[in-house]
Chain A
Amino acid sequence: MADFKLRRSLLYVPGNMPSMLQNIPIFNCDSVIIDLEDAVPLAEKDAARHLVKRFLLNYTDRNKELLVRINPLDSKWGYEDLKVVLPAMPDGIRLPKADTPEIVERLDTLLTEFEEELEVEIGRFGILPSLESALGVINAVGIANSSERIFALAFGAEDYTASMEIERSRGGEELFNARTRVLWAAKAKGIQAVDTIFADVSDMEGLRAETELAKRLGYTGKCLVNPRQIEVVHDVFAPKEHEVEYALQVIEAIKRARQLGTGVIALGGKMVDAPVVKRAARVLRTAYAHGMVDTLIDEEEIHGAQ
């Protein structure tokens, strides 16, 4: 919980477009995923990774998490992507087609080698695996446990529906099982779960509905294809005011409880115990990121002094 990092919005930016890379600092998404994979035509693979490297080296006042989606490790570009981009210090790698734990383990090993070579802390580069096939979804639990670098699991519906030989619908009923399985794996491991992109940039209602569904299920973030989608996604993930108010009451209540030497107390006729406090703490951290409360809550207040 101490390394709580808000990842509501992960914006894809094509790695071969200087005009779009240049604007990365200005958008208020939580993370950016610079894409070297699907967005980049074959003829530009080489140019793009060097462009991305230059951009990252010049982006010194970093104000958001920077991930790079490399090409699959079994393609002829994947390794070269890492080699060129990692010295420019992205925060992590989005690994496409992470179908098995072994693929992620391979990336983990490579990252360790690069970290040694670059003389940076082992574990500096995170991994965000994309579960985007039937196989990946089935292996979700194994993948979640395959590397300590993994901070979240990402579900990729476009490739997933292709692998299932089905169409993706606006309601998303066909994704329900896969979404849930990815979530279980993430929550069991105690990491975040990031929902798939919503491709229709002009359909803000559809985006809102899908994000609300993802949030209800337990996802904490969503991948985006256009900066215009950030506002809706943040709006959905923002705690409602009554939730913040209740969370503040919960924290007050549990502080009183600790003074009384207990870990359980009643608030408005309902029992407040550890899971309730945990949920309240999460609401307040998110509220802080949204500027809804002024101070971050103290870990000690939540868990009590050791």
Chain B
Amino acid sequence: MEKNKEKKQMLFYPDFLFREAVAAVIVVAAILAVTLIWPMKVGDPADPSDTSFKPRPEWYFMAPFYLLKIVPSSLEIIPTVILPPLLFAALIALPFVDRDTERSPKKRPLAMALMAAMVLLTAAFTLLGILS
């Protein structure tokens, strides 16, 4: 153990797993708490002939939902077909596009700006989608 400390390392088991276990217990307790505070309900049964229901996706699909809403018909193909695969392709390509080995966020202003822009945009669209 002494040796490990000098190298600023610890063991996966039990040092790291203990921390994970603590985090895990907290998360499980939190899930149980919200489950008990807000019991599950059911909606109305699906009815294809109904018009009173206002269809909305789960919150994590709100950003694309909002995009579908604001894009005119001539550009419809962008949010439906082009953007989703493009975003995933960009994420997959990321480590091969950004080959600089510098890891410190302070020395990667472009990468950080891009991330901030994406996160803000997604958050804004999600919020606008929920409010609409």
Check if A and B associate: no
